[in-house]
Amino acid sequence: MQQHSNSPTGNTYQDVGVDVDGAARGLNGLLGWLNKTHVFPGAVGRPLLPNGFFANVHDLGNGIGIAISTDGVGTKLMVAEMTGRYVAAGIDCVAVNVNDIICVGARPIALVDYVAVQRVDPAVMEQLGQGLYQGAQEAGVAIASGELAQIPEMLRGVHQGTGFDIAGTAIGVVPTDRIIDGRNIRDADVVIGFHSSGIHSNGLTLARATLLGPEAYTVDSRPSELGCTLGEEMQRPTRIYVRPVLEAIAATQDVVGLAHISGDGFLNLLRLRTSCGFELSDLPAVPPIFTLIQKQGGVTAEEMYLVFNMGVGFCVVVRPNAVDTVLGIAARLGFPAQVIGHAKASLAGRRVTLPKQGLIGEGKRFRKAAPGELR
């Protein structure tokens, strides 16, 4: 396969049509109005967290909070169309939502789905239903309602008539005095990284552009690095972290921060409400799919660590004395996990540093560290 690059520094999200900076500007305009709605419910139902966290919590009174989050599967669905296999899309729809719900310490209890199609294909619906069931079973949630919309004039698929989209909204419950938002994180707290199962559901636009372009592979290709077809690897379902995270919260009061590593990669740690930054000096080996994307597309390390999870799908921040407890729970439940770094009060301006990769993340970008900057 030929390596290719659309810019002197390699392929970026911007090159393939995802405008990260433009999205931030657009979101600011949207949130300017949405933030004004927080007063509408009054005392009962008011949001307890600012917009921009992984999920919000609404106060129902009597110490009860309802967590809510919504998300979709994104352009990973185009790989499903290419392969004709849709079960993973249902699992991903559950995963992307419940993994956000647990970031506030809530137990997911329910999800509703929205499926939009160019045309209804009963075989596709059956597979999506099977995937939603499998995801719900793993997360312990009920899917009691949803919506199926036929909008052929609005959707475009990989093939004529096959276009579809799936998204969900999840809710969970959490005592209002047990919300975890990072405010109790302090210097030297430990970051435990739960391994990802692969790409998950972020960065697929860049992954498809680099791996499935005209000079690259097809979904049926078997790159030697992967041990399976590219389609199988790119559709590997997002890992659902509900069981180990909830058990860790129940086992110790020393879980102080939770972060779903999705879009923006490890910069998601900066969503936590702490003055500390994070030094991640012991990341796991990068899974082969990411090495393949970087090599095939000429993608810079800065872009890779911004767009992809790079092998860590979820982070749990704990006091040092709780490390063995959380790692023990992860091992018993079959979730690979390891200590990957620490919170650091000395990281001025709230940064995420990756010393072995020579990268510093701040705001919405990673950049190469200057000589001596990571000492």
d(CA 49, CA 103): 12
Give residue 339's pLDDT: 98
Mean pLDDT of the chain: 93
Task: Choose the final residue of a domain: 123, 152, 178.
Answer: 178
- Are residues 303 and 277 part of one domain? yes
Residue 11 above 90 pLDDT? Answer: no
The reply to whether 248 and 330 lie within a common domain is: yes
Type of residue found at 103: C
Spatial separation of the C-alpha atoms in residues 108 and 225, rounded to whole Å = 36
Q: What proportion of the chain, given as a percentage, has pLDDT over 90? A: 85
In a domain, 121, yes or no: yes
More confident residue, 21 or 70: 70
DSSP letters, 121-135, are -HHHHHHHHHHHHHH
pLDDT tens-place string over residues 332-346:
999 999 999 999 999
Same domain membership, residue 156 and residue 109? yes
Does residue 374 lie in a domain region? no
**305 and 218 within one domain:** yes
- Separation of alpha carbons 324 and 254, rounded Å: 12
Residue with token string 């559950």: 94
Q: Would the CA dihedral through 112, 114, 120, 124 be positive or negative?
A: negative
pLDDT of residue 6: 37
Which of these, 138, 155, 248, lies nearest to 197 by C-alpha position?
A: 138
Per-residue model confidence as pLDDT tens digits over 201-215 = 999 999 999 999 888
Tell me which of 260 and 19 has the higher pLDDT. 260
Q: Are residues 297 and 360 both part of a single domain?
A: yes
Is 80 contained in some domain?
yes
Domain boundary among 124, 151, 178: 178
Domain span including residue 315: 190-368
Q: Scanning the structure block, which residue is given the tokens 């692969």? A: 198
The pLDDT of residue 290 is above 50 = yes
CATH at 149: 3.30.1330.10
Confidence of residue 145 (pLDDT cuts 50, 70, 90): very high
pTM comes to 0.93
- Give the tens place of pLDDT for each residue, 155-192: 988 988 899 999 999 999 999 999 999 999 999 999 99
Q: What is the mean pLDDT of residues 94-114?
A: 98
Closest CA to 106 of 165, 172, 47: 172
208-215 long-range contacts, Cβ below 8 Å, gap at least 24?
A: 208/75, 208/78, 208/79, 208/234, 209/11, 209/15, 209/16, 209/297, 210/11, 210/293, 210/296, 210/297, 210/299, 211/292, 211/293, 211/296, 211/297, 212/79, 212/82, 213/4, 215/1, 215/2, 215/4
CATH number at residue 210: 3.90.650.10
CA distance 243 to 335: 10
Percentage of the chain modeled with pLDDT above 70: 95
Overall average pLDDT of the 353-371 stretch: 94
Q: 168 with 258, same domain?
A: no
- 201 and 170 in a common domain: no
Same structural domain, 174 and 209: no
- Tell me if 30 is assigned to some domain: no
Angle between the N-to-C axes of helices 122-139 and 87-101, in degrees from 0 to 180, rounded to the nearest 10 = 30
Q: Are residues 80 and 209 in the same domain?
A: no
Whether residue 194 sits in one domain with residue 174? no
Residues 325 and 224 both lie in one domain: yes
**Structural domain tally of the chain?**
2
- Residues 137 and 197 grouped into a single domain: no
**pLDDT score of 3:** 41
Per-residue pLDDT at 7 exceeds 50: no
